[in-house]
Each structure stands twice: as C-alpha cells, then as structure tokens.
Amino acid sequence: MTMTSQIVGCGAYLPERVVDNDELSKRVDTTNEWIFSRTGIRERRIAADGELTSDLAFEASKKALESAGIGADEVDLIVLGTTTPDKTFPATATAVQRMLGLKNGAAFDVQAVCSGFIYSLAVADNFVKAGQARTALVIGAETFSRILDWEDRATCVLFGDGAGAVVLRGSEAEAAGPDGHGRNSARGILSTHLHSDGRYSDLLYVDGGPSSTRTVGHVRMRGREVFRHAVSNLSAVIEEALDANGMQSSDIDWVVPHQANKRILDATVRKLGLPPERVVTTLERHANTSAASVPLALDEAVRDGRVQPGNLVLLEAMGGGFTWGACLIRW
Ligand code: UT7
C-alpha cells in the first residue's frame, strides 16, 4: 500500500505587540530607511513577557486543527521546529501536546533553525508515508526576540516572533499517472529535500548553550556571507526538487520561502526565472521569524485564497548550520 500525505489545514499566530523600525531606531543606531532598504522589513511582532514559544505554537495549532476540521484527539504525531524552546528540555512539542489535552502518540522538537519547519515537515511526511503516523501536527514556532542581543544593530533589527502550523494527513495514494504534459499529477507532498553543511557553523550561530557556556547566548551572524550562501543553496535545492519531479520552474504556482531578506527572495526567484508576483512575502510585517516564517506565510496565502487546490506550491528555507531544504506540494 502506497501512502500519500496531504496538508489539510493551516494555522498561524502572532503576538499582539508590534515593534516598527522607528521604535528600534530609538534603541540602537539605525534608521527605518536602512532596515527597509537592506531587508524589506518594516515591523515585527514581539512576544509579551511570559508568553512562551509553546503558547504561540498552541494557538497556531488550534487554528490549524480548526481549519482542517479535525479533533486534536486524532493527532498521533507532533513535530515542532524551533530554536527557542521553552526550556532546554522537555521538548516544547510535549508542552503543546499537554495543552491540546493529548497523551498518546509521539511529540518531539526538531532543531534546524530557520529551516526548522521544512525539516519538521520532511520528518512528519516520512512518518506518514511509512505508515507510522496518520495525522501529524507540524509546527514552526519561535520567540527569537529572547536570543537577540538588543545592543547589536546588525542582528536585532532582523527578527521577530510567531508561529505557524499545518495538519498533515495520511491516506492511501490514488493511482496518479502523469498529467497531459508527462508530469506527476499526484496530490499532496510530492517530495522533500534536506541539506546541511556544518563547515559554516561560525557564520550564523548562538554564542551560548547548556554544554558550552551554560547560558542561553545571543545570535551572531556574518550577514553578507550568509546572504551569498543563501542565494546559491536555495537556488540549487529548488532545482533539485523540480528535477526530482520532472518539473520546471514555470510549473510553480506559488513559492512560499523563508522570509529572511527581500533581496534574497528577489535574487533566488530571478535565478529561477520566476515572476516576483508568485512569491508569498510577509517579511515586511513579520521580519524573520526563523522556523515560523514558512508556515506563517503559507497560512496567509491559503486563507486569502491565493493557494488553490491543484496548485504547485514550493516551500524553501535556509538557516544556521547551515541547514537548507525545499518541499514541493501539489495542493
Ligand atoms: O534566516 C537566516 C538567514 N539569515 C539571512 O539570510 C541574513 C542574510 N544577510 C542579510 O540579510 C544582510 O547581509 C543583512 C541585512 C544582515 C546586512 O545587509 P548588508 O547589505 O550585507 O550590510 P553589511 O552587513 O555589509 O553592513 C553594511 C553597513 C556596515 O557599516 P560599514 O562597516 O559599511 O560602515 C554595518 O555596520 O551597514 C551597517 N549596519 C547598519 N547600519 C544601520 C549594520 N546593521 C545596521 C543597522 N542600521 N541596523
């Protein structure tokens, strides 16, 4: 029996507090003009004191289940991508499990920084396709504001907090032959592609952790070098995903990218020859929410009706490690 997995619901949650670039310019030596022209960011959401990653994840999960019309009791797997867990352990996914009133199935976190949602989706997709789970909640949730050095203007202006979630459901695959153009016409997650390269760990990292400094630490980044790697790694993994499915970039209806920098998004789609209108962009209002950025953008594009059944949707992300990946979905 061949199993397929399909996203049957999406949800998102953003903390209430909006911090715009002008507010940041009172805190560090920066300007709205510099931030917007270099990144495309105008504002970000910041979690309230006491509002934890699990709280954001729980709210997004409830909405995803609601939109799927599926009761929480049907969930038998929770995979949560985060780099800002509530605690070093237990996994934040188990807090979400508790908040949803569940005690069965498996729940765990995945740490792949900004690629965390793509990694989590790939893990859940494989669980579902292997028949080890039937209904998975896949979440990207971050309170990145907690690991920022608010004195470092080169990083603190770039990030925000938020969460997004999807419900992934397994079903027996229908026999789906090639479409009229010889391409795969199956619905659901067509393929996932993950990569990492630990040689670049010093370009984007947190300078603390339980085993090294026994502190939480702060984000450190060599932005220009990360930028260069991001464009070439993302272009390569998108080509890989298209090749694996016998498709071309012109087949893509929507690109839902990790939202790190508008110039990275523009350069990546330009390389692919795709019009910028096909790219879902939330960066201006959300900034970089790390593992939450892809599911936040996906939720927006599904809810406002841009993503329609039958559309080919490409998700992609790159983050610290380096880690990067892509996922091709027939909606
Ligand atoms: O999600 C994980 C992946 N992360 C990324 O993809 C981030 C990738 N990198 C980037 O998005 C960009 O490299 C940044 C937006 C971080 C920086 O843009 P840049 O054009 O690469 O600028 P830069 O780092 O080369 O800095 C240029 C100048 C420097 O001043 P000098 O040395 O030329 O005098 C910085 O000190 O801009 C200065 N600068 C700022 N000025 C005003 C850095 N941050 C700021 C700031 N406000 N917030």
| CATH code, domain carrying 324 | 3.40.47.10
Q: Which atom of ligand 1 is nearest to the CA of 155?
A: 16
Distance of CA 159 from the midpoint of ligand 1 (Å): 13
| Residues contacting 295, CB < 8 A, separation 6+ | 10, 12, 60, 117, 138, 139, 140, 163, 164, 165, 166
Residue range(s) defining the domain that contains residue 322: 188-330
Dihedral (Cα; 187, 74, 143, 306), 10-degree rounding: 30
Domain contains 177: no
Same domain, residue pair 24 and 165: yes
pLDDT score for 175: 59
Quick check: 257 and 234 in contact, CB under 8 A? Answer: yes
Domain boundary at 142, 172, 202, which?
172
Distances (CA, A) of 327 to 22, 76, 182, 250: 36, 22, 20, 16
Name the closest-CA residue to atom 11, ligand 1. Answer: 261
**Of 110, 138, 172, the domain-final residue:** 172
Angle at CA of residue 164, ends 162 and 170, nearest 5°: 165
Q: Indicate whether 182 belongs to any domain.
A: no
Q: For ligand 1, what atom is nearest to the CA of residue 153?
A: 48
Q: Best substitution site from 31, 37, 38, 44 to test ligand 1's pocket, by max atoms within 8 Å of Cβ?
A: 38
Chosen domain end from 172, 203, 222? 172
Residue 120: phi and psi, rounded to 5, are -65, -40
Residues 141 and 243 in one domain: no
In this structure, the dihedral spanned by the alpha carbons of residues 235, 236, 242 and 247, taken in order and rounded to 10 degrees, is 70
Whose C-alpha lies nearest to ligand 1, atom 45? 154
- Catalytic residue flag (residue 156): no
Does 10 share its domain with 141? yes
Active-site residue flag, 327 = no
Where would I find the beta strands (DSSP E) of the chain?
Answer: 3-13, 17-20, 43-46, 77-81, 106-110, 135-143, 161-172, 188-196, 204-206, 219-221, 254-257, 312-319, 323-330
Q: Which of 184, 233, 261, 288 is catalytic?
A: 288
Question: Does 198 lie in the same domain as 81?
Answer: no
* Co-location of 111 and 223 in the same domain: no
Full pLDDT tens readout for the chain, 331 residues = 788 999 999 999 999 999 999 999 999 999 999 999 999 999 999 999 999 999 999 999 999 999 999 999 999 999 999 999 999 999 999 999 999 999 999 999 999 999 999 999 999 999 999 999 999 999 999 999 999 999 999 999 999 999 999 999 999 876 555 666 656 678 999 999 999 999 999 999 999 999 999 999 999 999 999 999 999 999 999 999 999 999 999 999 999 999 999 999 999 999 989 899 999 999 999 999 999 999 999 999 999 999 999 999 999 999 999 999 999 999 9
Cα separation, 8 vs 196, whole angstroms: 29
For residue 180, tell me if it sits in a domain.
Answer: no
How far is Cα 38 from Cα 23, in angstroms, rounded to an integer?
A: 17
Do residues 165 and 192 share a domain? no
Q: Is residue 110 part of a domain?
A: yes
- Per the domain annotation, does 24 fall within a domain? yes
My answer on whether 76 and 146 are in the same domain is: yes
Secondary structure (3-state) at 76: coil
Cα separation, 128 vs 136, whole angstroms = 8
How many structural domains is the chain composed of? 2
